[in-house]
Amino acid sequence: MMASFMSYFGRRDPKQSAREAIVGLRQQLQMIEKKEDHLQKKIDQELKIAKANAVSNKPLATAALKRKRMNETQLDQLRGQQMQLAMQVDTLENANLNKETMDAMKKAAQALSDIHSGMTVTKVDQTMAEIQEQREVAQEITDLISNPMGMDSVDQESLEAELAAMEDEALTERLIGADHVPVHVPEGARQPVAAVQEDDEEAALRQLQAELAM
């Protein structure tokens, strides 16, 4: 009957169930903590009574110690329950975190699957080849647009021959100009023409005098 009831209304959300369970456990922990505080106060009170009557009224002191031990036993039991509840809270929180993490990973995996649903290695290779082809076409168009019109019709051999003729002409002009370059003579080495002629005449006169003396 319970199964049919759940199937009629649908299964509960696991996250919601975990949250409700954690809330219930925490409420129970709070109640246990309050009970522990109450028992601890009673234990302290009974201990105070026992100490006050340990000498003057031993039966009263003994009864107080018995009540103290009973309260301590209950306190130990509550602390054990508290530990179990705290462990359940931690377990539920970890399980809920694991569930949420797994759900997030499933959504991410589904998103990746949706993204890659229309993609295959073959399609990617084909697309990259088309992109490369279009790049080459664009480069060819750019080269055609950038090349000045009519430059391809110029004869390269005639240009080289004309350039060689210009080089020969320039070298010839340099050689002709070198023949007319004035020779630089140092200032001290220059002698007047008249002085040179006078030296020749004196040398001839001395030679004539020497011949007559013979």
- Which structural domain, as residue segments, surrounds residue 43? 14-99
Residue type, 1: M
Is residue 15 over pLDDT 90?
no
| 19 pLDDT higher than 50 | yes
Side-chain half-sphere exposure of 171, counting CA atoms within 13 A: 6
Residue range 37-49: average pLDDT?
94
> Does 47 reside within a domain?
yes
Whether residue 175 is contained in a domain is answered as no
pLDDT recorded at residue 8: 45
* Per-position DSSP letters for 74-112, written without gaps between them: HHHHHHHHHHHHHHHHHHHHHHHHHHHHHHHHHHHHHHH
In a domain, 87, yes or no: yes
> Per the structure block, which two tokens stand in for 138?
């664009």
The answer to whether residue 180 sits within a structural domain is: no
Per-residue confidence at 79, pLDDT binned at 50, 70, 90? Answer: very high
pLDDT band at 165 (very low <50, low <70, confident <90, very high): confident
- pLDDT tens for 113-143 read 888 887 888 888 888 999 999 999 999 888 8
Kindly report, residue by residue over 80-120, the tens digit of the pLDDT.
999 999 999 999 999 888 988 998 999 999 998 888 887 88
Residue 9 within a domain:
no
Is residue 74 in a domain? yes
Residues 6+ apart with CB under 8 A from 85: 25, 28, 29, 32
**DSSP letter, residue 146:** H
Spatial contact of 65 and 84, defined as CB atoms under 8 Å apart: no
Give phi and psi for 192, each to the nearest 5.
-65, 150
Residue 197 lies in a domain: no
Q: State the total domains in the chain.
A: 1
Whether 203 is covered by a domain: the verdict is no
Residue 85's domain is classified under what CATH number?
A: 1.10.287.1060
Q: Which two tokens stand for residue 107?
A: 């959504």
Query: Using CA atoms in the order 118, 122, 124, 126, what is the torsion angle rounded to 10 degrees?
Result: -120
The DSSP secondary structure of 190-205, one letter per residue, reads: ---HHHHHHHHHHHHH
